[in-house]
Amino acid sequence: MAKSSECHGFYKLSIEERLRFLKEFSGLTDEEAGLLRREGGLSLERAERMIENVVGFMPIPLGIAVNFLINGKDYLIPMAIEEPSVVAAASNAARMARPSGGFWACSTEPIMIGQIQAVGVKDPHFAKLSVLSQKEEILKLANEQDPVLISLGGGARDVDCKVLSTPVGKMLITELYVDCKDAMGANVVNTMAEAVAPIIERITGGKVYLRIISNLATRRLARARVKIAKEDVGGEEVVDGIVSAYEFAAADPYRCATHNKGIMNGIIAVALATGNDTRALEAGAHAYAARSGRYSPLTIWEKDSEGDLSGSIELPIAAGIVGGATHAHPIAKISLKILGVKSARELAEVMAAVGLAQNLAALRALAAEGIQRGHMALHARNIAVMAGATGDLADRIAERMVSERKIRLDRARELLRELGSQPA
């Protein structure tokens, strides 16, 4: 029987209990659970092979967002992030979405775009048609670069060209459309772009400079939607507040940047946990948000005729489950196992749903009680734990500090002495 990701009070469990839940849900081995506990799970030797000039590590906590139901399947979501409240907020939003069936997500084929820049082309519009007329030769050479990708059903699919007018003259940009299957694709696309550059020079008579992937992955989109009954979100007034928060973002780029930042809190945390290129995702998301010439929200929130809340998200998600750090980093491998995704598209769909959930949680908190209450509750619990409290006692100390509005280590220590000596 499929296991449920629903778990009330996951945050109240000890780390050992949480790991036991993970083992049950995702079939993690003792060794994998041990690696997770081992402050980063990455050896210096492996780190040395990942980047240059290694001197050590910068560990980030890995948390698990619970309650996610996406396309009828339960997911536990590994999230690597330094900011408190994000994992709890995602779990809360996923819990709100469950009664109406959770999130529904879909995606396009994983097509990435490689760009080849030719300058000094005398007749760029004529050259554009010459390049297009030799598309088959270009695709053939591109596809000779990665036989493994071809054997998996991927590869360069199409070629397009555009002429740009710039202060240093006209440029002919040739674009290669590559189905990257389960890889993020930067390596293969860059290799293909470099390989076909001599053909472009020969056809156009120009000089090729840049041969590089575009992170504005408009052919690799992920979408998710959710419908939530007004009672599950806190009533019609909260629905109105969320819709009005969305409209604020749609009308004002200053608010919109923060709105989209909240979405990326979720997406980037999953990307980091799974060893994906977070900068590529950020660049793609914000460029996509500005594609109309006006920076806009990546999500849309509406109230339907019953007064219930509908939300949707669409953005480029160039994330892979093979290649790069997804396999080189042992924790990324474990994160992918916890997620149980079978393809890069499934991962992108999960990320889109997490982004939508994160945005819902933020807008709901902002429209209802304000963001600080949730932040402070978590912050207070962290302070209580730092003071040495555990389990229920940490919760009680945190609650007291929040109600007194004194969230400080010295107060947590006092309360630990006071409450710790009382029967629970």
| Site map (CB under 6 A) of ligand MEV, residues 36-75, x = contact | ----------------------------------------
The answer to whether residue 261 is catalytic is yes
The answer to whether residue 109 is catalytic is no
Neighbouring residues of 248: CB distance < 8 A, sequence distance ≥ 6: 255
* Between 259 and 329, CB nearer to ligand MEV: 259
* Between 110 and 234, CB nearer to ligand MEV: 234
Number of chain positions touching ligand MEV (CB under 6 A): 9
* 362, 387, 398, 415: residue in contact with ligand MEV (rule CB under 6 A): 362
DSSP letters of 269-296?
HHHHHTT--HHHHHHHHHHHHTTTSS--
| Site map (CB under 6 A) of ligand MEV, residues 71-90, x = contact | ------------x-------
DSSP letters of 67-81?
EEEETTEEEEEEEE-
Q: Which of 74, 277, 314, 349 is catalytic?
A: 277
* Between 83 and 252, CB nearer to ligand MEV: 83
CA distances from 359 to 79, 156, 284, 363, 395 (A): 15, 35, 18, 6, 26
* Between 278 and 343, CB nearer to ligand MEV: 278
Site for ligand MEV in 214-273 (CB under 6 A): 258-259, 261-262, 265
The answer to whether residue 83 is catalytic is yes
Q: How far is the CB of 39 from ligand MEV (least distance, A)?
A: 25
Q: Which residue is nearest to ligand MEV (CB)?
A: 262
DSSP bridge partners of 214: 113
Neighbouring residues of 364: CB distance < 8 A, sequence distance ≥ 6: 93, 96, 233, 234, 238, 241, 242
* Between 328 and 366, CB nearer to ligand MEV: 366
DSSP letters of 290-304?
TTTSS---SEEEEE-
Residue type (1 letter), 288 = Y
Residue type (1 letter), 1 = M
* Between 283 and 371, CB nearer to ligand MEV: 371
* 371 belongs to the binding site for ligand MEV (CB under 6 A): yes
For residue 316, the 8-state DSSP code is: E
Q: How far is the CB of 296 from ligand MEV (least distance, A)?
A: 14
* 92 belongs to the binding site for ligand MEV (CB under 6 A): no
The answer to whether residue 304 is catalytic is no
Q: Which of 23, 303, 375, 379 is catalytic?
A: 375
Nearest one of 5, 45, 40 to 21, comparing CA atoms: 5
The phi-psi region of residue 288 (left if phi > 0; otherwise alpha if psi is between -120 and 50; otherwise beta) is alpha
Q: How far is the CB of 307 from ligand MEV (least distance, A)?
A: 22
Q: Kindly report the length of the chain.
A: 424
Query: What token pair was written down for 395?
Result: 């919760």
* Contact positions vs ligand MEV (CB under 6 A): 83, 258-259, 261-262, 265, 362, 366, 371
Q: Which residues are designated catalytic?
A: 83, 261, 277, 375
